[in-house]
Amino acid sequence: MLKILLMGHPNVGKSVVFNRLTGANATESNYPGTTVDYEKGYVFIEGHETEVLDVPGTFSLYPKDKAEEVALKIFTQEKDAVIICVLDATKIERGLYLVLEVLERSRSVIIALNMWDVAKDKGISIDHDHLSSLLGVPVVPTVAVSGAGMKELIFSIHEACTSDVKSIVERAMV
């Protein structure tokens, strides 16, 4: 079964994205450490049941507290999972360090630039297509509280899964 890990800093909206994807009702709070364990839910993508894990907030893959230890453990155990790095679009530079750490470990990665509406309201302009080109992964603007960008995010998950299957088959044929 395909798995998706939602990773990112505390307070970037991972649990809201999780709820939007799975229809669950995970705790959504505006303070760090709300999710110290993980939540599990399911979404159907192209007719396939997909497990989604809402990973505790982490600033890096080098843990400094219990929540980060749990995040690293899940990340390490779920080697074949698609990683959705949820970033706060108003503070994108803060989240890119974690994204680069995840990318260094050769994972299927999608970036969800959450709080896109707040960034626009603050006059922050992000060329998400250029960022996608630079990093070599899909970058999807989202507003999880309203559901904006969720269809595009699911499409990116489907594309990531399809390209992973293709690359596995291509490697096996060499």
What is the mean predicted confidence (pLDDT) over 61-75?
94
**Between the CA of residue 71 and those of 55, 63, 68, 91, 155, what are the distances in Å?**
6, 8, 5, 21, 25
Q: Is residue 128 very low, low, confident or very high in pLDDT (cuts 50, 70, 90)?
A: very high
One DSSP character per residue, 75-139 reads HHH-TTPEEEEEEEGGGHHHHHHHHHHHHHTT-EEEEEEE-HHHHHHTT----HHHHHHHHTS-E
Read off the pLDDT of residues 34-60 as tens digits, 9 standing for 90 and up: 446 788 999 988 888 999 999 999 999
Domain boundaries, the chain: 3-173
CATH fold for the domain made of 3-173: Rossmann fold (3.40.50)
